[in-house]
Structure formats: structure tokens, C-alpha cells
Structure 1
Amino acid sequence: MRKLTDFEKQVIEQKGTERPYSGEYYQHDVKGVYCCKKCDAPLYRSESKFNAHCGWPAFDDEISGAVKRNIDADGRRVEIVCAECEGHLGHVFEGEFLTPKNVRHCVNSVSMVFKSALEVVAPVKKTELATFGGGCFWCTEAIFSTLEGVNSVVSGYAGGSATDANYRAVCSGMTSHAEVVHIEFDPDVISYESLLAVFWQSHDPTTLNRQGNDSGPQYRSVVFIHSDKQAESVNAMINTLTKACVWQDPIVTEVAAFDGFYPAEDYHNDYFELNGEQPYCKIVVKPKVDKVKALFAELLKSN
């Protein structure tokens, strides 16, 4: 939130009004976006601004979802506020026929800050990747797909070459691949360490080349790392779990450098979601999903 001057507080927080014809944006005509002075949220595009000869900046449209309307204290006018911080902007009027849209947002200049077209750059969405193998990827995909902050989960193969990265070859156990999920996530919403915590709880990391009735090197427990930071996190967590004796048997999870991912055949993706009534999904996959969802809810509470 931006620190406001006394006058800005009077208008934005105490619902005051600046003098007509006094605001810096009354006759302002530059390409760009008008943003909330208090929280910087985008409010109006310059294309929506017009001269209403009223003494204040006027707009006949707002950026979708940016402005909220309230009945004013006098019970007659409609107040407009920033939808993000509820800072007072001004009032909205309809039926004046000043533009084809027949609406006028009468806004205090002091409630806004202008950003030119050169300054307005779409924020780059920050994402990272994680690649885990913990048995059948039907189970693993279903588990990670439920987590907030996970943008996508794709089933596939890693640890081998492109020539034999297909289900039939991998199931033979004669390739170097593991069945994995390739996860794109937002680190501002969910951390890599949280994903690791879910990974450890979603399978048994002490059984070599096996998960339940599924056996073979393709079902091995493995983390493919994408950075030095991820390597540090994985090894630190293995050390912590080992010292805490979480499992009676030693952890056999492989930690390997990521060297490529090969998406599985289309029918494998969203398998649990599309085939939830099948016996394997009901008996094997669903209990794992429910368990991890409950554990992750507790993890969020503790954070």
C-alpha cells in the first residue's frame, strides 16, 4: 500500500472530493492506464476516458472487476471504490447520454496514479518445475493435481532416452525410465519443500523398485532435480526424515539430475478424474488422494 498524504487520505479514506478543474488528470490525454493511488490496482484504460466538461476525469468504462459500486451515504448517488482496497474514487452516473455507453465514472484525480503505455507491462507469472516418481503415475498425478498453487501436472517418463519412452517399453522394466509426474507450480503459493512433503507422504520411499503390488524399476522412488537449490532441499529433507526415523527401513529414494521429460500417452492424463469408478482408482488411488489432502490441510494450518 502506498503512503498517502493528508489530502489523499481525506479523499480516498474519508470519501472527500477534490475541487473541480483542479485535478492533474482532468484534461489528461495520454495512452496508458489509471491505477488506484492507494494500492496500485489498475482501474481505467485511457481509451475509456472522455471530456465530460464536469471538472473531474470521466470514464465510460472500467477494467473488468476493478471497480465496486455502493449506494452513497445520501441514499441517492452511487459511490465507486477500488475493488481491491475499497479506496474512494468518486461517483458513477447513468442516463446522461454523453457517450454511446451512456455511463460516466466521475473520478477524483487524487484517487488515481497514471502509468503510460510504456510503463504498463503484464506481470510475468513466476513458475517453477518439479519432477517426482513415486510408483504408478495415475496415483501421483491425482494427488498433486489437488494442491493449490500447482498449475499443471503431466504424467510421463524420465530418466531414459526418447527412443523407448512409451508405456509398453517402460512397463517391460528394460528401459531406464521411471513413471513420473512433471509439475509446474507457483512458488509464491506453494513451496518446493511443501511439494516434497506431499511426495514423501504419497508413497513408501523405503521399497526399492516397488510400490505396493507394482514392481519394477519404472516404479522406483525418485526425485529429478532442476536446480542446485532443489538438490539441497531434497538431500536436507532426506537427512531430516532419516534422523527422525519416520520409517523403520532406510530411504532408498534416488536423487538424479533432470535430463528430460517425455509425456505419457494421452489416455494416462487425468486418469483418476476420468476413471474414478474403476476398482483400481477406488481401492488404490482414492485413499492415497484423501490421505494426502488431509495431511496437506494440516501442513497449511501449521504454516
Structure 2
Amino acid sequence: MNDLTEFEKYVIEQKGTERPFSGEYVDHDAQGVYLCKKCYAPLYKSEHKFNAHCGWPAFDDEIKGAVEHTPDADGHRTEITCAQCGGHLGHVFEGEHLTDNNVRHCVNSVSMIFKSRDELAQSSSAKTSYQKATFGAGCFWCVEAIFAQFKGVHSVKSGYCGGDAKDANYDAVCSGKTAHAEVIHIEFDPAVIQYDTLLSVLFESHDPTTLNQQGNDKGPQYRSAIFVHNSEQADAANKFINTLTQQQVWPRPIVTEISAFDTFYPAENYHDDYFAKHGQQPYCQLVVKPKFDKVMSKFADKRKV
């Protein structure tokens, strides 16, 4: 996730609007792709862009699956948001007959960043070395805060794994009636931090012997879980747990579930950086901070400067 300025937060997270003709992409016509400012998900190609003379960047198409359409509560307009992180983009209008597609995505420049085709090619080459890891260890507020601190961790996102898309939302998952676990989805550079190190952090961050529970947080959504992305991760996770068991690190059996990764559903954007934003709340002070401080103390040499 990108760190946002206060104005970017106002537009992207609080659904604000920049002044017309003030954005850097209003008259922009370079060849490339427009990405979400918050999570870098690709949204629009340059060939989708046209000059609508409306004061904001206009697009008459979108990258398939990249943009969510939601009618406003008053029924007068349709909001468009990033499908990956939920960040506010603007509104979409139809029936204006400005292009053959007869649609206009009116987007705030501040909600996007632009990458030229050369930049995208270089970025794609660099990211081929990144790998993914997905862990469940209780409330994702705590786990996200911990893993985000480590060198080699490129991104951490809270979300849900193990269930279906239809009920992959916080209210449904908190009921304990879905198959989801609260998880964090990590993108990391194995040249800087190894998967075994991530496993060490995971097992230092929670109690893997309490079934469907972490402290006072109870329910299957809080289960200890490792969603493996390949056979190498499966072997590493099983070997790691076997070693902990043989060494009797825990007085009770480890109940961590190891499952094949299927689909990650990003959590609502208000969960992002929750501990950093709400560290003074009682839950953060009593539950998150002690775990955070404990892990940071043990792995101080691996923490980002």
C-alpha cells in the first residue's frame, strides 16, 4: 500500500473530489496505464482516455474487473472504486454520447498514478522475484502491524481466505458462520527475507495451540492457519511445525491448519494500517502492542530502518 497525503486520503478514503481542471492527468495523453494511487492496481489503459472537457480525466472503458460500480444512496449517480482496495475514484456516467462506448468514467487525478509502458516493463521484471505468503493468526490488525515492519516485505494486506466471495466481508466473517479466516497477505522478496523467517515471525506472533481462538477473540475466523502457495511452502510449513513439536516449544499440541491457497479477498480499507492509525485505542494497547513489542524485540535486526 502507498502512503497517502492528507488530501489523497480525503479523496480516496473519504470520497472527496478535487477541483475541476486542477489534476495532473486532465490533459495527459502519454501511452501507458493508470494505476490506483493507494494499492497500485491497474485501472485504465491510455487508449481508454478521451478529452471530455469536464475538468477531470475521462475514460470510456476500464481494465476488466478493475473497477467496482456502486449506486450512490440518493440514486442520482454511480460511484466507481478500485476493485482491489476500495479506494474512491470518482463517478461513471452513461448516455452522453461522447464516444462510441457511450460511457464516461470521471476520475480524480489524485486517485491515480500513471506508468508508461517502459516503466511497466521494468516494474514487471523487478517484481518477478517477489513471492507471496498468506497467514492467519487471530485478529489481522495485530499481524499486519508486525509483518509490515520487516525488511524484504514489500506489502502486507489484511483480508479473508478460505471461504466464498459472497460473504467475504467483515460483518459476515465476524459472525463465525463463514469458512473464512482473518489473514494477512504478504508480498516479499526471498532474496532479503526467507519464507522460514516469516514462519518464525508468525509463530512468535500468536499461540498456535488454541483452536479457533486467540486470547479473547473466539471463533473459526481467528484460527491459526497457513495458506500455502506452492509445494515448497507446504514442505517448509510442515517441517517447521514438526521441529517446534519435537522441541516441545509449546506445552500443548500445535493446531495450525495448513491449506492450499485459493483466493484472497482484501478487507475493507478502514482496516489498513489499523494499529498505526488507532494505536491508542484500548484493544490496540492491551492486545496488539504487547505482541508487537515482543516480536520487534526478538527480530530487531530484521526490522526496517
CA–CA separation in structure 1 for the residues paired with 2:299 and 2:156: 17
Find out whether 1:186 has 2:189 as its counterpart: yes
SS in 2 for 1:160: coil
CA–CA separation in structure 1 for the residues paired with 2:122 and 2:292: 39
Shift in Å at residue 121 of structure 1? Answer: 6.8
Matches within 5 A, 1:58-137: 124-125=126-127, 126-137=129-140
The C-alpha deviation readout for 1:134-172, integer Å capped at 9, x for no partner, is 000001101101111101100000000001000010000
Distance 1:274 1:247, change over 3 A: same
SS in 2 for 1:277: coil
Shift in Å at residue 296 of structure 1? Answer: 1.4
CA–CA separation in structure 1 for the residues paired with 2:293 and 2:133: 22
Instruction: Give RMSD over aligned pairs.
Output: 1.8
CA–CA separation in structure 2 for the residues paired with 1:297 and 1:235: 26
User: What stretches of structure 1 move > 4 A for 4+ residues in a row?
Assistant: 120-123
Q: Which amino acid aligns with 1:273?
A: A
Q: Which amino acid aligns with 2:183?
A: V
Picking from 222, 241, 246, the partner of 1:243 is 246
Picking from 205, 208, 227, the partner of 1:224 is 227
Shift in Å at residue 279 of structure 1? Answer: 1.2
CA–CA separation in structure 1 for the residues paired with 2:302 and 2:284: 25
Find out whether 1:143 has 2:146 as its counterpart: yes
CA–CA separation in structure 2 for the residues paired with 1:203 and 1:221: 8
Q: Which amino acid aligns with 2:216?
A: N
Q: Which amino acid aligns with 1:204?
A: D
CA–CA separation in structure 2 for the residues paired with 1:280 and 1:124: 38
Question: Match for residue 153 of structure 1?
Answer: 156
CA–CA separation in structure 2 for the residues paired with 1:124 and 1:298: 25
CA–CA separation in structure 1 for the residues paired with 2:137 and 2:166: 23
CA contact 2:153–2:186 (8 Å) conserved in 1 = yes
SS in 1 for 2:141: helix
Distance 1:211 1:121, change over 3 A: closer
CA–CA separation in structure 1 for the residues paired with 2:196 and 2:183: 18
Shift in Å at residue 286 of structure 1? Answer: 1.1
Question: Match for residue 296 of structure 1?
Answer: 299
Question: Match for residue 201 of structure 1?
Answer: 204
The C-alpha deviation readout for 1:186-229, integer Å capped at 9, x for no partner, is 11100000000000000000000000000000000000000100
Q: TM-score, normalised by structure 1?
A: 0.58
Find out whether 1:174 has 2:177 as its counterpart: yes
Q: Which amino acid aligns with 1:157?
A: Y
CA contact 2:160–2:183 (8 Å) conserved in 1 = yes
Question: Match for residue 287 of structure 1?
Answer: 290
Distance 1:121 1:185, change over 3 A: closer
Q: Which amino acid aligns with 2:204?
A: Q
Q: Which amino acid aligns with 2:251?
A: Q
Question: Match for residue 233 of structure 1?
Answer: 236
Q: Structure 2: 5+ residue runs without aligned partners?
A: 1-120
CA–CA separation in structure 2 for the residues paired with 1:121 and 1:258: 28
CA contact 2:151–2:302 (8 Å) conserved in 1 = no
CA–CA separation in structure 2 for the residues paired with 1:121 and 1:294: 36
Q: Structure 1: 5+ residue runs without aligned partners?
A: 1-119
CA–CA separation in structure 2 for the residues paired with 1:288 and 1:121: 38
CA–CA separation in structure 2 for the residues paired with 1:149 and 1:217: 30
CA contact 2:143–2:184 (8 Å) conserved in 1 = yes
Q: TM-score, normalised by structure 2?
A: 0.58
Q: Which amino acid aligns with 1:152?
A: S
Distance 1:299 1:142, change over 3 A: closer
CA–CA separation in structure 2 for the residues paired with 1:164 and 1:179: 13
Q: Which amino acid aligns with 2:208?
A: P
CA–CA separation in structure 2 for the residues paired with 1:208 and 1:299: 30
Aligned residue pairs total 182
Structure 1 stretch 289-298 or stretch 124-133: which is displaced more? Answer: 289-298
CA contact 2:150–2:302 (8 Å) conserved in 1 = no
